[in-house]
Structures are given as C-alpha cells and as structure tokens.
A and B are shown apart, each in its own frame.
Chain A
Amino acid sequence: MSNPKKPHITVMRSQLSRARGLGSGQAGVGHWWAERASAVALVPLSGWFVIQVFRLAGASQPEVAKWGARPLNTTMMLSLVILTFYHTQLGLQVIIDDYVHGKAHLPAGLLMKGIVFLLGLFGTVSVLKLALAGSSRGRIAAG
C-alpha cells in the first residue's frame, strides 16, 4: 500500500507543456470586437428608445400601436432588441469563461445562449406583432 503521508502525484507534465497547453485557439478577436461594436451601436439605439418612451408616456393603446406600426420605429426597435440580446450573450459568455471551468463550461454556455436566444426571439416577435397587428386589425375593422 502507498504511504498515506505521501500523496499520489497525478501530474508530472512539465511546466512548459502546461503553459503551452493545446496551443492557441485562433479565436477571440471576433468576440472581443463584436462586444465593443455592439456596445457602441447600443448607445444611440438606447437613447432613441428612452426618448420614445417619454414621448409615448400617457398615450392610449391605439396610439402606441400606430407608433409601433411605423416602419422606421419597427426597424429601430428590432435593431435595439436583436443587438441587446446579441450583446447580452457575448457578455454572459465572458462571465462563464471566467467562472465556470472544466466539463460544466460547454453546457453552461449552451444553456445561457439558448435562454438568451429565446428571450431575444420573444422580444423580436413582440415587436413584429406590434408592427403587423395594427394593419390586420384595420382590415378586419374595415371588413
């Protein structure tokens, strides 16, 4: 039997081998740049959205529906929603990279991306519904 005082050594790989590891993943630039570019794009989009919310304060439901049906507003809203959730998953991936190691890393990232994707899709569908529902309702009312 082995001496309990002397722990069994499982890693005798050299320090240089550990430092080199599996080499460079040849990735990271795209993620890093996308994080910054989307953050910059979100500044004017978020400012626009805040202004619109103040302008619509106290508006009736039909007024808001009319606002949401305008192509320019739909375009801005979709840009805001898609970029927000795109930026969210980029940022959360960084947190997972930092704090989740080993076998849990990949499933944690997938789970996070799945949830953020569904939330983003929900927001996108909501904007589209606002954009398209007004006209269909108009037709029904006319018919």
Chain B
Amino acid sequence: MVEFRLPKNSTVGKGRIFTAAPGATNVKNFRIYRWSPDDDKNPVVDTYEIDLDKIGPMVLDALIHIKNDVDSTLTFRRSCREGICGSCAMNIAGENTLACLKPIRDIEGDIAIYPLPHMPVIKDLVPDLDGAYAQLRSIDPWLKSDTLPPPDSERRQSIEERAELDGMWECILCFCCSTSCPSYWWNGDRYLGPATLLAAYRWIADSRDEHAGDRLDALEDPLKLYACRTIMNCTQTCPKGLNPAKAIGRIKELQLERKA
C-alpha cells in the first residue's frame, strides 16, 4: 500500500544549530537533512547560519562552504558546479533541482535542503539511485541498428531528423523528475519514471535507430509506461527546462498509432 507516513525510523528530529560568526550581517539559515548509516539514530535537520557575503550565489556554494569551513561531516554529491553532471540533484525549498543552478536569492526565508524524495538514503543528501540507473539500463539506451554504417563516414541524419532529438539529448540524468513524480513514489519498482521514459523516446525518435518497434513492445505495460497519470511534476521540476511529460505523451501516441 501507499505510505502516507514515514516509517518510525525515518521520522525527522531536531538537530544542531551552527551559529554564524559574530559580526556577520547577511545571514541566511540553511536547514539540512542529516542521516548517517553508522549509528542507529533517526535523521535530524541541522541548521547552519551562513554569512552570504562570504560565499558565491548558488545553493551549492553554501553547501561547499559548510563542508569546507563549518562542518566537514556534511555529505553530498557534486562535481561540475555548472548544471551538466547532474550530481547535486536534491530537494531545495520543496523543489527538486540542482544545487549548482539554484540561486540562493531566489528563495525567501530559511532554505530547507533534503535528498531527492522517496529514494533510499545512503547518507545525508546522497540518495541511492541504483534502482533508477538499472531502469535506465533496462530500456537499452544506445543506438541499435542492423544496417552497417558506411565504411568511410558516420551514420547521417537530415537536419529535420536531428531536430527531433532536441529537448531530449540535453537530459543529464539527475533524476529530479522521476523523484518528483507521485506515480514513481507509489510504483517506482515497476513504473520506469519520466527520466527513463524520456531516454526511451530519445532512441525511438532517433532516425538512425532501427528498433523502435522492439522498444515500444518493451514499454507497452500497464505500469512501466501507463502508470504515468500526466501529473506533470516532471516537466515543472526539470532543472534543464526539458519536457519529459511530452516525451511520454509521444510514446503513448505511437503505441496507439501502431495498433490501428
């Protein structure tokens, strides 16, 4: 059944407060989810008072400042700090987004930071994405073609065919969309989720791919594909401005088209 309450060992308690240095004038509170697998304690929310004059403009700048200068035990993923690696996906002020692309000044009041929702937590802000990666792997996200490529050149596409892939190749697989989707929360074991379905359509729509039918066969399932209820959280939350809901809609159209 659906879980409307957190399990007992997941209820979040109050944590420590790290006060800002005296004399700090531009202070903002960062309330950050903390949980460690190393003790048997429930998760808590620690509060960090941060002097914004000392750090860069993005939420990730605050997190890096905390780790470097305030509390080195804070754990989070980050790499490129410019929205292309997808590592720092997390729930910031109630919205899944990339910490490196989220300006601090866009958020009023305290900034609450949690890991991506409804995923197992490895530590602090680090979710376990193994299941999501395996789902991506399950749709064979690579070019499948039986026709050999020309011996002296690459596989070619027309300008129009290439344009079909716009809005899909830009996906960085941060899984902000999948983890914002209630269908994925309730049925994430069988529903593939918007990130994986966007990737699936990216290959169905690719003019060089010759296995669209097999791909549609593999998706034609009451839950793998049709657990999408057009809630549109995926499109609303995507930090890259993509539209996974539209891609899912196109897959449903093609499923219908090949029946008639």
Contacts and interface: CB of A to CB of B under 8 A. Distances in A.
A142 interface: no
Chain B contact-residue range equals 20 to 34
B183 A25 contact: no
Nearest to A21: B190
A104 B2 CA distance: 13
A24 B221 contact: yes
A21 B220 CA distance: 14
B227 A25 contact: no
Contact of B133 (A15, A27, A94, A104): A15
Contacts of A99: 1-2, 186
B14 interface: no
Given A15-B133, A98-B227, A20 B138 contact: yes
B222 A31 contact: yes
Q: Determine the main DSSP class of A at the interface with B.
A: helix
B134 A28 contact: no
| Residue from the set A23, A27, A32, A97 with the largest chain B CB neighbour count within 10 Å | A97
Interface string A23-42: 11111110111000000000
B130 interface: yes
A16 interface: yes
A138 B189 CA distance: 62
B226 A18 contact: no
B223 A15 contact: no
Contacts of B54: none
A24 B190 contact: no
A24 B224 contact: yes
Question: Which 3 residue pairs are nearest across A and B when measured between Cβ atoms?
Answer: A15-B134, A28-B226, A19-B134
8 contacts: A25-B221, A28-B225, A29-B259, A31-B226, A94-B229, A98-B2, A98-B183, A99-B1
